[in-house]
Amino acid sequence: MAFATRLVNGELMLADCPPLYTPEYAKGCEALGHLMAPPVRPVIIGTGPDAITAGGKYVLWRHEFTYHNPTPIAIDVHDLMPDEELVERVKTVNEFSYNYIGRTLKLNAIAIRSVSKDPKTFAATVKKVAGATSLPLILCALDPSVMEAGLREAKDRRPLIYAAMEGSWKAMADLALANNAPLAVFAPADLTLLRSLVRTLMAYGVHDLVLDPGTFADAGLPATLTSFTSIRSEATRQFDELFGFPILGVPLTVWTGGEISEDVLKWKEAVTASMLMSRYADLLIMHSLDGWVLLPQLIWRFNLYTDPRKPVSVEPGVKTFGRPDRKSPVLITTNYALTFFTVESDIVNLIISEFSLPMSATMSSMTFSSSISHVLLMSPGI
């Protein structure tokens, strides 16, 4: 009963109960899998510990339950970049990290774009990127022959293939099936065509799909948000299986407009990304690596994907700072994460600042700084 309750609440998954997967319970496990399946299917991109899951949503509005699988953010590179610039950009994505109330926020994937439209050039770039990162890859090429060349250099990496369109769906579907890779379906500003392509691909045997209804910046942004909302509403409210897949947003498209100011473009990309994430984008492809563009997305994603039923908290207990003695004060706070890490930061900064005083500082101040050492955490409401 305890497991079933936590399963219904989304706190545990079926895989957390290994006995369900024994032959004795095979039928029951299959039935539970269908019963508990979210209206928006989860799609895994990549392999190993860095693999990402897009989708897996149960509800339209966050307060109805909770959102699962935070929106992965991919950064683009292209196959005409000089080698040194390419490697440096991939390294920056790998190392991008920000600590926010005790959580490490990171970027999640690399999108490799075919600008040359040459199979050999694209394949060489995919090989370099695959060798420089373990992050999941998104291969972006609309020509199946170019895509095939890139896939040969990303074997066993399970990249997202971008994208199948009206005139190329069969060739792209064959590549997806042959490489056991998820496939993006691209039908810009045409939801009817998008549904038709999804139906055709599912009948063909491709079931790991990602939907791209097109991302249009500036005057086209309202229509983009309407498309995203319509797709997600149909999936979660009408249980439309053809729209029950993760949605891909591409804020990168703001860079294709006529604006020449990079700062304005970065601002537009930041605004577009946050709006798409708020309106059901399950995966984003971005261009800018500036902290002021990316940090708002990472922090907003963190807050959007916290469970509204439970506050963000730290483990209750006694935390020690410095070298406590019998005269050390005890500070009492709740285990709400924002409160704790604010108090912790103040304590650490005080200890550092006191120890950095000149040798003429009074012994009492030195003793005080090294004695602020206990924070007793209590549960919220106590």
Q: List the CATH number of the domain containing 286.
A: 3.20.20.20
Q: State residue 353's pLDDT score.
A: 56
Structural domain boundaries enclosing 182: 43-304
Q: State residue 36's pLDDT score.
A: 86
Decide which of 304, 338, 356 is a domain's last residue.
304
Nearest to 133 by CA among 52, 250, 71, 68: 52
Same domain, 79 and 228: yes
Q: State residue 368's pLDDT score.
A: 37
Torsion of CA 112, 116, 121, 122, to 10 degrees: 30
Q: State residue 141's pLDDT score.
A: 98
Decide which of 304, 327, 345 is a domain's last residue.
304
Same domain, 47 and 140: yes
Q: Which amino acid is at 309?
A: R
Same domain, 205 and 330: no
> Is residue 312 one of the residues assigned to a domain?
no
> Is residue 311 one of the residues assigned to a domain?
no
> Is residue 154 one of the residues assigned to a domain?
yes
Burial of 227 (0-12, 13-18, 19+ CB in 10 A): buried
Q: State residue 259's pLDDT score.
A: 83
> Is residue 309 one of the residues assigned to a domain?
no
Alpha-carbon separation of residue 308 from 42, 66, 182, 234, 241 (angstroms): 21, 6, 31, 23, 27
Same domain, 135 and 15: no
Q: State residue 332's pLDDT score.
A: 86
Same domain, 183 and 201: yes
Same domain, 244 and 272: yes
Residue stretches of the chain with pLDDT short of 70? 351-382
Helices (H), 133-261: 144-152, 169-179, 191-204, 221-237
Q: State residue 165's pLDDT score.
A: 98
Torsion of CA 262, 266, 268, 270, to 10 degrees: 180
- Per the structure, the count of domains in the chain is 3
Q: State residue 233's pLDDT score.
A: 97
Same domain, 47 and 32: no
Same domain, 280 and 260: yes
Alpha-carbon separation of residue 259 from 75, 266, 268, 274 (angstroms): 21, 11, 10, 20
Question: HSE-up of 262 (CA within 13 Å, CB side)?
Answer: 4
> Is residue 141 one of the residues assigned to a domain?
yes
Same domain, 181 and 223: yes
Angle between helices 291-304 and 262-278 (to 10 degrees): 10
